[in-house]
A and B are shown apart, each in its own frame.
Chain A
Amino acid sequence: MGGEVKAPKIGERAAYSRFTQQELPACKPILTPGWVITTFIFVGIIFIPIGLASLFASERVVEIVYRYDEGCIPTNYSDQKLAYIQNSTTNKTCTRSLIVPKQMKRPVYVYYQLDNFYQNHRRYVKSRSDKQLRSNASEGDTSSCDPEGVAPDKHPIVPCGLIAWSLFNDTYGFLVNNEALEVSKRNIAWKSDQEHKFGSDVYPKNFQSGGLIGGAKLNDTIPLSEQADLIVWMRTAAFPTFRKLYGKIEMDLEANENVTVVIQNNYNTYSFGGKKKLVLSTTSWIGGKNDFLGVAYLTVGGLCLFLAISFILVYVVKPRQSRKKFGLLEKHKDYVVRAQAFHKKEEAYGEKAAFRNPDEFYFKMIKTRTIDGVHKLESQANKYTPEELMLIKTQDIGYVLQKVQVKKRLSGWIDGYGGVWVIYGREMALGFTREEEDGER
């Protein structure tokens, strides 16, 4: 687009505002030591308390994690886990008891945790139909749901897609002192999802009716918006190790209390080496138990304080040198360069002095005076009258040129001459041209 920017019409003088002159009022921040150190101290002061607070919060979270995928396999099946889990006739119930290490205030959240399950795999993530989930009318919209779009009889599967198909189907029951603990499924799914994303008129159809059963079956009489487990499952996890909310226990669990868990171990993670864990956890203002953030904040805050202190030290011990002596733009490397040049010159002059002609004479020897160790020419100010100056200006070079021409003409050299004149300021040394020298030879 190298077009010409049309200049405004001649005669129209643009309004030269501060804007067009790029002189708008502005603030010009500069990183000064004071500023930088203040910033670091400030960051440190903010970060360390936050880090401590979150560490503390994370510390207060009580978490019981129990991995049951290995343990819940009966010993006689331990070599053929896959066969065990795929066999619908085997007894999948598995009862374990867990000790509560500390008091757990309600609500106690019940999670299941899956490892090595890539709910974020591209094929998996894409295999869903949000339209179908939302309204009954788009029931047939299963184009994006392969390979779980339609049942073998060509009827659309609702909810379609791999995500729904692989719905987690282990169940947990809890007993404390032989009394069943109620696990509430209320509000485990997002309200926004229940209200807008999963239709209240959409009922499961043809679900898990294909040749391959992926996971849980759904009750055909309950609309999707009420299927909390499905809704939670359909929020695909970000990482291959993830937890999903199973339910809430609206009761405090006391320390050292024995909680018996009855696990229905249905879900097949054995085929791909995934792990299953049951997690009971309280929560804090920062979420679950995770020390990372606290540690990270402490590290960053500490680093900032450390930087601030070291800058202060450096600032005190080795402040930046003033450049006043050599001028604003002077730097050390310039000084080095100059020093080298000076020494080189010194050598050159020393050599010159060694081979000096004892009879050497310059007019400068008598025309200069030494003032403070520096040779200064005597004042030349009123040496010449203006006429003389004019004469000098016009005739010195001119005169020489003229002489050269005359000489050339006399010596009969026509075809040009070459040569170098070197003119040192006022004093002129004329190196005659080679042609002429040749001619004289």
Chain B
Amino acid sequence: MASKRPLLIPSPRTPNSQDLPSIPLYSDLVNPQSQSANFKSFSPMDSNGNNPIENSPIPPNSTTLYSASQRSISSILSANSGGNSVREVNFSDVGTKPVRYGSRGTESEAFSMSQKEINDEDARLIYINDPGKTNERFEFSGNSIKTAKYSILTFLPRNLFEQFHRVAYIYFLVIAILNQLPQLAVFGRGASILPLAFVLLVTAVKDAYEDFRRHRSDRIENNRLAWVLANDQFQQKKWKDIRVGEILKISANDTLPCDIVLLSTSDPTGVAYVQTINLDGESNLKTRYAKQETLSKLPEKEKITGLIKCEKPNRNIYGFQANMEIDGKRVSLGPSNIILRGCELKNTASAIGVAVYAGRETKAMLNNSGAPSKRSRLETRMNREIIYLSVFLIALCTVVSACAAVWLRRHRDELDYLPYYRKKDFSEGKEDSYNYYGWGMEIFFTFLMSVIVFQIMIPISLYISMELVRVGQAYFMIRDSRLYDEASNSKFQCRALNINEDLGQITYVFSDKTGTLTENKMEFQCASIWGVDYSGRKANLQGEQLGYSVQVDGQVLRPKMKVKVDPELLLLSRSGKDTQEGKHVHDFFLALAACNTIVPLVTDTSDPAVRLVDYQGESPDEQALAYAAAAYGFMLIERTSGHIIIDVQGERTRFNVLGLHEFDSDRKRMSVILGFPDKSVKVFVKGADTSMLSVIDKSLNLNIIRATEAHLQMYSTIGLRTLVIGMRELNSSEFEQWHFSFEAASTSLIGRAALLRKVASNIEKNLSILGASGIEDKLQQGVPEAIESLRMAGMKVWVLTGDKQETAISIGYSSKLLTSKMTQIIINSGSRESCRRSLEDAMVMSKKLMTVSGVTHDTGRSSGGAATLALIIDGTSLVYILDSELEEQLFQLASKCSVVLCCRVAPLQKAGIVALIKNRTDDMTLAIGDGANDVSMIQMADVGIGISGQEGRQAVMASDFAMGQFRFLVPLLLVHGHWNYQRMGYMILYNFYRNAVFVFVLFWYVLFTCFSLTTAITEWSSMLYSIIYTSLPTIVVGILDKDLSRRTLLNYPQLYGSGHRHESYNLKLFWVTMMDTVWQSAVIFFVPLFAYWKSPIDGSSIGDLWTLAVVILVNLHLAMDVMRWTWITHAAIWGSIIATCICVLVIDAIPSLPGYWAIFHIGKTRLFWLCLLGILIAGLIPRFVVKFLNQYYNPRDIHIAREAEKFGNLRELGGAEIEMNPILDPSRETTR
């Protein structure tokens, strides 16, 4: 029986979950009761039509079947599984909301595909080895890729089109167009277009450069070579010429040029190993299989013909649905038969496949989406002030036009002959009105002209400056050595450039646990076998320095990773199967070694006699278990699709793998059916405790189950991840039945995944328990310190995890999230009513606690997180709370707590929790996570951070920033976030000020020119003002200025509070700045006015004085506020002033301008220089005084810290005395 191998294992990693209600095949397998349940639960969905199901991110899955049929079992089990069943039923309710998130979303797409039969219209037909025929009907895209946005021809229109998406640019364009009208021409044509053209040009050059780089990389990519079958032999061909339907040959370590369906590989069983690091960042090897039907075919010898019918190109990299007609047979293809573009072939000499998707239709390219675009909070706030500025602008224009109206009205009789107005025009021979359109129109034109003259009141250059500054800030963040992870060689990544400054204002941090707080490197710690706990307390690694090893053909095989072992258990495992205990231990470790999808790789070492066995697998838990089994003498040595070889205590044993039901998140378990050498057949199952306990036969060994449950409880309490292992021996009729249905299911074309799952659930029942394992997921380096820093900085840290409550709490303790001083509120409810009551109780409780112990907490803001309350809530309760009226209560409660731990939460709930906070407060939220399950939360939060860790790149792809480790969050937020916020806030205010000063100077002058909008400052100077004269220093300061050193910021996390209090940018500062603006502009204008009143000064000369005065004053103002002068700052500020002088000289050296040589004349007079000096000093005095008084008598934290930093009493004060937030408490040490 065992000789007849079942079909190769289809291994959909994340199976497509849907099935059709009834398959005749099953009727004899499914017991009547569950069948009826089956119908019951699915019929309403069918009546609903497919759409809601297709949209649901969590498909109503077959677990709902279990919960219906097995409630009787689960109800007498534990509360956990009871809650579980309830939860999952409700999950489908939650799930019907059409929310897409992350990979789950794409899965559901695929699942919607899979439930349909691929009909001919939807299908993509590929004739193997016949690219001509393949491509004749449908125009499939070729394999050349194009990531570049523009070509030479389309660059100008497209780039302009994209740039004009900004409202600000349109404003400028409108102004420039207005200025072209002859009646309104305030500036010359060239001068008015200049600023806009400059901004557009800078952006266009930047875009062009980026695009050029993309073009170059495209060209390199497209011209790589691959072996393609042509005329019965493989020839080299450029990647871009590969067409769908062609047969390709890939050698080891080659990168795949397009998505191919495997036909055969150099391995006789048709296995190919691929590394998908370019695709999803996972570095372990994955197995792909060629179909048996095509295995033996050699394309050079015989012509392969066939037809592949597959789904349309889609983004789901974990799903593929197709079938292949070959030699008249119809073979189905799944995700395990396709290798995607970008993967690398490893450990396989060669592979042959047929191209199915090429070029931009490959899954890798379809996944190449741009970074998400978010808007920074500061920018949103800035828009409010922009509105104020617009109001100013309109007010100024109104004043000017109203005055002009009055003036015109009062002088209406004189206008005709007024020497400086002369309405009458005799030049045409007849009397005419020269440039006069009536009183009303004149006023209207005056208004428009004043808008043109005062246009820079709205600081358009601010937008471009902000972008440049952000690029600079991002550069420094990326280059920061303290954000560089040596272990994974990953740099900090800035994927969203718009929200740098938001990092300085974060209040809520939502963190994932696994892989974010922990390393996601699993270590086997202890096991409970047959009710006996082997915790390995006295284990020592030293004793077994070399670990376990076996001798094979004179060579020593040794597992790559050493595991500390429990000597007692080791002894038992070596004693063989003689004793009852030994037998159980044997089965347990056999299960660990066999029940997985690990691929052992034997690698050579420097010592030729020693070879290492490296376990490659998709799940770190499985790796840990396999290494553990190896350490106890059950070393998995070889795995093919048909059999595995396990070295059992030095004795090679070959087991036939008769079937394997892969792990999926719905069943939460996996099973393998092994044919033993003695012809017995056993099924080994391992899985999460909740799902396993429901399928274990309670009638047997109740004591053992109880004991194991107790051990599980204990393991999870000390923070271990637990798995339960069970087994069952199959008799031949059971096996036959299973084999029949398994084969039927695995070859079926429709809803295969669901059918397979049904088969699995039929075999995974009535198991006898073997034991449980505890795996430790170590905390990442520096996590407790990081969390403490974040808390001291006034941030609230929430941990959202899928782990069990006990595990979560214990991790909470070890990561210093929870301390023994805290009062924990645990909400753990199974119904809406009880949730409500729990929340109410908790509220009452928290109020009570507040009044006595937590008074300081009320005053919390200055003291950060004086932590007294910790809320622990589980996913089941959240199901009832989120999206209901209880949300508000939860929010109230949570906002009182400084720590919130959510356990057992689903990905969608994570997003829900983030939304709970985000929708109710103005505080900034940050989500950090590493896995696909965190994507929804990362996208929901204001700032999303992805950890580029073990679990692939999904989170990174969705994130705004990506980094290697959780602890980097501290320098990122406390240092860079603080700097960025402070710099950006200052820069915005300064830009407002800078432009407003200039506008006010113009405005004052207009009041002395009959409101006729003459500008003394030349039009060229006014256009260059925000481009050359004053722009560079603000950008340099925006990028480089630092208020405090990195060390200070890290030592005193409280300083982060300046961001929470909006200290760098707020309405008060804005108004103060504006008042300063009015004063300074008045000084600039009126000092020369009075000094030169009744003097023969001409307009151009005094205009030059004003120009220089305003530029130097504005730059000195900046210089006064600079906190850290490096040579770059010096160069920028003084350089700008010098550049201005040069520009003014150059402009005045042009004879065709009216102001010719003015500066040289006025520069010779002493009055000029005295005026300039007087303006500068008088202009700056108020700000200087206020600044000093503020810093000295009403200092903010930053000022104090700066002083301390400068005068060195930081160290002498020491950390202890600065304890405003009593977070450090010695008693916690005893708890840990």
Whether B855 contacts A5 by the Cβ 8 Å rule is no
CA–CA, A245 to B1092, complex, Å?
14
Whether A237 contacts B419 by the Cβ 8 Å rule is no
B700: CB under 8 A from chain A? Answer: no
Which among A192, A245, A433 is the interface contact of B1096 at CB below 8 angstroms?
A245
Cβ of B845: which chain A residues have Cβ within 8 Å of it? 420, 422
Once A20-B479, A401-B806, A418-B829 are accepted as A-B contacts, the answer to whether A238 and B1098 lie under 8 Å apart by CB is yes
A31: CB under 8 A from chain B? Answer: yes
B205: CB under 8 A from chain A? Answer: no
Specify the chain A residue showing the minimal Cβ separation from B80: A405
Q: Which of B27-35, B224-232, B512-520, B1192-1200 binds A?
A: B1192-1200
Once A329-B1054, A380-B1230 are accepted as A-B contacts, the answer to whether A212 and B424 lie under 8 Å apart by CB is yes
A27: CB under 8 A from chain B? Answer: yes
Cβ of A130: which chain B residues have Cβ within 8 Å of it? 1151-1154
Which among B86, B207, B1170 is the interface contact of A54 at CB below 8 angstroms?
B1170
Whether B425 contacts A397 by the Cβ 8 Å rule is no
**Chain A contact patch, size range:** 35 or more
| B856 → A minimal CB distance (Å) | 5
Whether A296 contacts B1174 by the Cβ 8 Å rule is yes
Query: Which residues of B in the span 470-494 have a Cβ within 8 Å of any Cβ on A?
Result: 471, 474-476, 478-481, 484, 489-494
Whether A16 contacts B481 by the Cβ 8 Å rule is yes
Interface string of B492-504 (1 = CB under 8 A from A): 1111111000000
Interface string of B1196-1216 (1 = CB under 8 A from A): 010011111110001001000
Whether B1095 contacts A287 by the Cβ 8 Å rule is yes
A residues with CB within 8 A of B? 1-5, 7-8, 10-11, 13-14, 16, 20-22, 24-33, 36, 39, 43, 47, 50, 54, 111, 113, 117-125, 128, 130-131, 134, 146-152, 162, 165-166, 190, 192-193, 196-197, 210-212, 214-215, 232, 235-245, 268, 271-272, 285-288, 290, 292-293, 296-297, 300, 303-304, 307, 320, 323-324, 326-331, 333-334, 337-338, 340-341, 344-345, 348, 352, 380, 390, 393-395, 397-398, 401-402, 404-405, 408-409, 414-426, 431, 433-435
Once A237-B1097, A242-B1096, A329-B1220 are accepted as A-B contacts, the answer to whether A7 and B1156 lie under 8 Å apart by CB is no
Whether B422 contacts A123 by the Cβ 8 Å rule is yes
Cβ of B478: which chain A residues have Cβ within 8 Å of it? 5, 7-8
B713: CB under 8 A from chain A? Answer: yes
Whether B82 contacts A152 by the Cβ 8 Å rule is no
Residue of A11, A28, A421 with highest tally of chain B CB at under 10 A: A28
CA–CA, A201 to B562, complex, Å?
101
Whether A293 contacts B1153 by the Cβ 8 Å rule is no
Cβ of A418: which chain B residues have Cβ within 8 Å of it? 827-831, 833-835, 837-838, 877
CA–CA, A150 to B498, complex, Å?
58
Whether B827 contacts A113 by the Cβ 8 Å rule is no
Whether A5 contacts B475 by the Cβ 8 Å rule is yes
CA–CA, A162 to B435, complex, Å?
13
| A209 → B minimal CB distance (Å) | 11
Cβ of A304: which chain B residues have Cβ within 8 Å of it? 1177, 1181
Which among B851, B877, B1094, B1206 is the interface contact of A242 at CB below 8 angstroms?
B1094
Whether A10 contacts B717 by the Cβ 8 Å rule is no
Cβ of A393: which chain B residues have Cβ within 8 Å of it? 717-718
B42: CB under 8 A from chain A? Answer: no
| B1185 → A minimal CB distance (Å) | 6
Which among B422, B828, B851 is the interface contact of A417 at CB below 8 angstroms?
B828
Cβ of B1054: which chain A residues have Cβ within 8 Å of it? 329
Whether B1090 contacts A292 by the Cβ 8 Å rule is yes
CA–CA, A123 to B424, complex, Å?
13
CA–CA, A242 to B1201, complex, Å?
55
Cβ of B420: which chain A residues have Cβ within 8 Å of it? 117-119, 121, 123-124, 162, 166
Cβ of B1096: which chain A residues have Cβ within 8 Å of it? 111, 232, 237, 242-245
Whether A341 contacts B1014 by the Cβ 8 Å rule is no
Whether A28 contacts B1202 by the Cβ 8 Å rule is yes
Q: Which of B581-589, B647-655, B922-930, B1158-1166 binds A?
A: B1158-1166
CA–CA, A54 to B1091, complex, Å?
11
Which among B370, B427, B824, B835 is the interface contact of A146 at CB below 8 angstroms?
B427
Which among A31, A47, A128, A232 is the interface contact of B1187 at CB below 8 angstroms?
A31
Cβ of B1178: which chain A residues have Cβ within 8 Å of it? 296, 300
Once A27-B1125, A130-B1154, A398-B714 are accepted as A-B contacts, the answer to whether A420 and B825 lie under 8 Å apart by CB is yes
Cβ of A150: which chain B residues have Cβ within 8 Å of it? 427
CA–CA, A420 to B872, complex, Å?
10
B1067: CB under 8 A from chain A? Answer: no
Whether B827 contacts A420 by the Cβ 8 Å rule is yes
Whether A287 contacts B414 by the Cβ 8 Å rule is no
B296: CB under 8 A from chain A? Answer: no
CA–CA, A367 to B183, complex, Å?
93
CA–CA, A150 to B434, complex, Å?
13
Whether B435 contacts A146 by the Cβ 8 Å rule is yes
Whether B862 contacts A190 by the Cβ 8 Å rule is no
| A329 → B minimal CB distance (Å) | 5
Which among B476, B841, B1218 is the interface contact of A420 at CB below 8 angstroms?
B841
Specify the chain B residue showing the minimal Cβ separation from A426: B820
Cβ of A54: which chain B residues have Cβ within 8 Å of it? 1170
Which among A20, A36, A394 is the interface contact of B1188 at CB below 8 angstroms?
A36
Whether A272 contacts B1204 by the Cβ 8 Å rule is no
Cβ of A32: which chain B residues have Cβ within 8 Å of it? 1203
Whether B467 contacts A5 by the Cβ 8 Å rule is no
B771: CB under 8 A from chain A? Answer: no
Q: Which of B391-399, B679-687, B988-996, B1004-1012 binds A?
A: B1004-1012
Whether B824 contacts A123 by the Cβ 8 Å rule is no
Which among A1, A237, A394, A397 is the interface contact of B1098 at CB below 8 angstroms?
A237
Whether B495 contacts A409 by the Cβ 8 Å rule is no
7 tightest Cβ-Cβ pairs between the two chains A and B: A416-B830, A418-B834, A418-B829, A147-B425, A122-B1012, A192-B1157, A147-B434
B181: CB under 8 A from chain A? Answer: no
Which among A31, A296, A401, A425 is the interface contact of B820 at CB below 8 angstroms?
A425
Cβ of A190: which chain B residues have Cβ within 8 Å of it? 1157, 1161
Cβ of B467: which chain A residues have Cβ within 8 Å of it? 1
Cβ of B1: which chain A residues have Cβ within 8 Å of it? none
Q: Which of B71-79, B126-134, B246-254, B904-912 binds A?
A: B71-79
CA–CA, A419 to B1129, complex, Å?
61
| B1213 → A minimal CB distance (Å) | 5
| A154 → B minimal CB distance (Å) | 8
| 21 sampled A-B residue pairs with Cβ under 8 A | A3-B210, A20-B475, A22-B1040, A30-B1191, A39-B1184, A54-B1170, A123-B1012, A124-B419, A130-B1151, A152-B427, A197-B1151, A210-B427, A215-B419, A300-B1181, A304-B1181, A329-B1055, A341-B855, A418-B830, A418-B877, A419-B838, A425-B821
| B169 → A minimal CB distance (Å) | 12
B1128: CB under 8 A from chain A? Answer: yes
| B649 → A minimal CB distance (Å) | 31
Cβ of A122: which chain B residues have Cβ within 8 Å of it? 1009-1010, 1012-1014
Which among B471, B826, B1012, B1087 is the interface contact of A121 at CB below 8 angstroms?
B1012
Whether A152 contacts B426 by the Cβ 8 Å rule is yes
Cβ of B1040: which chain A residues have Cβ within 8 Å of it? 22, 24
Cβ of A395: which chain B residues have Cβ within 8 Å of it? 714
New contact pairs (13) apart from A20-B479, A416-B83, CB-CB < 8 Å: A3-B210, A7-B478, A22-B1046, A28-B1124, A121-B1012, A122-B1012, A236-B1098, A240-B1008, A328-B1201, A328-B1213, A398-B717, A419-B828, A420-B841
